[in-house]
Structure 1
Amino acid sequence: MRRLGSFLRDAWRIAGPYWRSEERWRARLLLGVVVALNLSLVGMNVLLSYWNREFFNSLQEKDAEAFWQLLFLWRQTESGPMPGFVFVAALYILIAVYQLYLRQALQIRWRSWLTTQVLDRWLADRAYYRIALTDPGTDNPDQRIAEDLRFFVDNTLALGLGLMRSVVTLASFILVLWSLSGPATILGLTIPGYMVWVALAYSVLGTLLAHWVGRALIPLNFNQQRVEADFRYALIRFRENAEGIALYGGEAGEKRGLVDRFGAVIHNWWAIMVATKRLTAFTATYAQAAVVFPFVVASPRYFSGAIPLGGLTQTASAFAEVQGALSWFVDNYAALTEWRATVKRITGFADAIAAARGAAAEGAGVRAQAEPREDLVLEDIHLALPDGRVLLEGAAAEIGRGEAVLLTGPSGSGKSTLFRAIAGIWPFGRGRVRVPAGASVLFLPQRPYLPLGTLRRAVCYPRDTAAFPDAAVREALAAAGLGHLAARLDEEDAWDRRLSGGEQQRVALARALLVRPDWLFLDEATASLDPEAEARFYTLLRERLPGTTLVSIAHRPAVAQYHRRALRVLHGRLVPAAP
């Protein structure tokens, strides 16, 4: 019970905020209508049980007039005025259609709100980056956002409404069954409403057996979601790096890796199949037995003449409804295990986001602090890798506004990591970076990020495309040597795969010319360009952005001529060097 209580609290942690949000009144109204329609279906089933009794009684009595009236018109019966089946069926269908339609509307509104909230928290304080570095156990955030949230919303509504309908069905039909079943005498003991107690015993036994048979599905469903996501991620990574794999001729190795990951999917799936087979064997047996069981239990009263044929069918129907309501857990056990696995993955993801944002708020790692100043100051910077290996110790430097500074050093010495620390995103280390308040900053890595969408969006990133007039975008593109792509500015494509490495770096140059940052950090941003194009790149930056502070990481000696001074990372120290 303690574990159940903890699980339900976790589920409410995910669900509760939506019902207290700015959309709460619309959501509650929509849910109220869905609940009302759901309960109306229960009422329709009660009505149909009485209609069914009168209909079968008309057959037993060979009353043709009653037969046709109960089908197409209405008839006054012992149960009261009874509408024709065509009217009952038409109303039932209308209610069922709109109950499903409005439930789906609630599902997409809830999922939309929940996805937006999770995305906001995941992106805030660069939690996504910190999680990727510090919490490898939080795997496949794409799946947790795209798939797990959908599963949670869908299953929460389906299971919740189903449970509510079962409770109301139980309350409605248990009275019907009690009135129909009459007393039974067993070993001298008279038991009133005996079929109610039989249905209760049958359902409790089935529930206990279902949990015992199917409990292995809980960890298996959790693991299946993980291995499926791992396999999908490997395929996506293969697609994104298709050119490199082709150039290396690495198909055989990639296939081995993909087959291994898919092998984990198959292995876990076989385990699920075995567990599901056992559970299905039980639930199918349980369901088939439930078809005839109420007739067997009620047959003594029918054969004794205590109830007519219609009474027998209504008794069996009421028993089936009561037994079905009490067997909700049995019928939904597989869905419950999937729901529990989904809740566990979402809460784990939410906890990882909270921990990452908490670490950022506490200033874990190098702290970037905005101050009313003109220069950038590094104070006692210590940097390490996630495995604890120290890259930089006690680094200190000052970079004035408008300077051009070159940062050099051996590969792997920590130059790019120092840039990450200046950006305030590196969590492994300590120290302080004092940056000018209100200054615009742009980082251009060796492999520029090109977002999904149009080429215009890629050039304007991270600003909105509406921030720049069309002429400015085309001019920046032409200045960067990509004028031939101007006609394709509004064309959507996978530009990170369509453009060569050098062309992608030219897009980054056009981006810098458009954004005109106060501080520009280039991490081997010209490594894919030929020497002439590289010279043109830096010349453009100095001509077009004369007031921009320029800090570059580069290995080519020719880049030094575009910088006034240099710093070098050597043996874990940051020292002055000749440009």
Structure 2
Amino acid sequence: MTEVPQRQPFAADEPDDLRPADMADDENEDGDRQWSRFWLTARNFWRGWAAWRVWLLCAVLVGIVVLQLYVQFRFNYWNRDFFDALESRDPARLRHQAILLVPLCAASVVLAVASVWGRMAMQRNWRQWMAAKVIDYWVENDRYARLATVQGGQKIPEYRIAEDVRIATDAPVDFAVNLISSVLTAIIFVQVLWQVGGPIGFAVAGIQLWIPGYLVVSVALYSGLVTGAMLWVGSPLTHVIQVKNQAESELITAAHLLRDIGEGVTPKREERSVIAGLWLALDRAIRQWKRLCWQLMRTTLVSHTNSLLAPIIGLVLCAPKFLGGEMTLGELTQAAAAFTLVQGSFNWLVDNYSRVADWMSSLERVGGLLLSLDRLNGDVGTEVTPSRAARQPADG
């Protein structure tokens, strides 16, 4: 007969009727309330007397995005002119394009490095500010001690402060920069596709069809198909990541409990149950990783297929006009490259779906922790008081 442990290391193993009613597990938490609770605190990073530095850095990032787009636009035309020079076997034009490639490459590298600096400076500042807020609220009025005495997923705040706060503040900065870049790329290169591709006519069952801007129509249809496939295949991913993160945090906590026994913090008589709980937590974490693996395999099927097909589809669609003499070799490569860029912009969600799901999971977990801290004092939905550390503007 299995011995009943005196101390249960995992809240998830407790029967539901042993949990206080106001401390529901993460999976039963209202997602909308977690979102709103997170943003109730996080939005203050962008407000107040010191926020001008944040917005100045945002303006610098947008400027870098615009310059990167301009360089990309010039590369697109360089690609056309280079292949036209090859087709015409013109050495002078080839030398000119080779010389022009040097400043374009240099500008692209400098802007890429500047973009990394700007994004990581923003992410570092927001993470420092948000983590200081959460830690201050956790420590205030001995909430850290009282939270440890209640049951529920939120009793493991260390992982949420260290990892989930990082993801919850890192990802939005990347998303915003990439989304702005995608929108501007789509606007610019849709015009390139419309001008270079032009209209196309063909007969179907004896009926003559005429499609103006056929490359633009084709890229919109293809992108819609791929995005729909990703939404259908990847819809469970957010929940799978959230459960996986919870299992990882429980494994960390189980290891800490065993260390407490070694250091004499916890009585030696509880060693057996704690070790059993550690193995149980490891098994649970591995099972959740297996679930995540299967889900990522499905999303990879869509994303990788898209990455293979998108450049080829652009070339195939342009081939009839090239073979008919309506396109030069340079225009063919220019249109195919523009097709890939526009398709990538339209399918931003496809390329970022896994990270969006990871971000949503972490955001909800941080919001769930704040809600649990609120409940300790019955102050649900109140705003976190700024900490001393959070009041200090971080260095860029």
TM range (shorter): 0.7 to 0.9
Alpha-carbon shift at residue 304 of structure 1 (Å): 0.6
- Higher-Rg member (1/2): 1
| 1:72-471 matches, cutoff 5 A | 72=99, 84-134=100-150, 136-186=152-202, 187-244=207-264, 248=268, 254-358=274-378
Letter in 2 for 1:112: Q
1:264 partner SS? helix
Letter in 1 for 2:51: R
Aligned pair count reads 347
Asked if the contact 1:290/1:320 (under 8 Å) is kept, the reply is yes
1:138 partner SS? helix
1:185 partner SS? strand
Alpha-carbon shift at residue 15 of structure 1 (Å): 3.5
Percent sequence identity over aligned pairs: 30
Query: Equivalents in 2 of 1:164, 1:152: separation in Å?
Result: 19
Alpha-carbon shift at residue 285 of structure 1 (Å): 1.2
1:60 corresponding residue in structure 2: 87
Letter in 1 for 2:168: F
Alpha-carbon shift at residue 153 of structure 1 (Å): 1.2
How far does the alpha carbon of each residue in 1:262-310 deviate from its partner, in whole angstroms, 9 at most, with x for none?
0000111111111111111121112111120100011111111111000
1:25 corresponding residue in structure 2: 52
Question: Which segment is superposed worse, 125-134 or 316-325?
Answer: 125-134
Q: Does 1:49 align with 2:65?
A: no
Alpha-carbon shift at residue 122 of structure 1 (Å): 2.0
Higher fraction of helix: 2
Letter in 2 for 1:13: L
> CA 1:253–1:221 in structure 2 vs 1: closer, same or farther (change >3 Å)?
same
5+ residue gaps in structure 2? 1-29, 381-396
Alpha-carbon shift at residue 239 of structure 1 (Å): 1.9
Letter in 2 for 1:223: V
Alpha-carbon shift at residue 358 of structure 1 (Å): 3.6
Query: Equivalents in 2 of 1:11, 1:254: separation in Å?
Result: 33
Query: Equivalents in 1 of 2:324, 2:179: separation in Å?
Result: 37
2:165 partner SS? helix
1:37 corresponding residue in structure 2: 64
Query: Equivalents in 1 of 2:89, 2:181: separation in Å?
Result: 36
Query: Equivalents in 1 of 2:366, 2:161: separation in Å?
Result: 8
> CA 1:28–1:357 in structure 2 vs 1: closer, same or farther (change >3 Å)?
farther
> CA 1:91–1:359 in structure 2 vs 1: closer, same or farther (change >3 Å)?
closer
Letter in 2 for 1:132: A
5+ residue gaps in structure 1? 73-83, 361-579
Letter in 2 for 1:37: I
Query: Equivalents in 1 of 2:149, 2:32: separation in Å?
Result: 33
2:287 partner SS? helix
Alpha-carbon shift at residue 238 of structure 1 (Å): 1.7
Letter in 1 for 2:88: E
Asked if the contact 1:124/1:357 (under 8 Å) is kept, the reply is no
2:154 partner SS? coil
Query: Equivalents in 2 of 1:257, 1:222: separation in Å?
Result: 21
Question: Which segment is superposed worse, 241-250 or 191-200?
Answer: 241-250
Higher relative contact order, chain-length normalized (CA < 8 Å, sep 6+): 2
Query: Equivalents in 2 of 1:256, 1:220: separation in Å?
Result: 25
2:182 partner SS? helix
2:210 partner SS? strand
Query: Equivalents in 1 of 2:213, 2:105: separation in Å?
Result: 31
Query: Equivalents in 1 of 2:227, 2:31: separation in Å?
Result: 16
Tell me how large the CA RMSD over aligned residues is. 2.4
Letter in 2 for 1:23: A
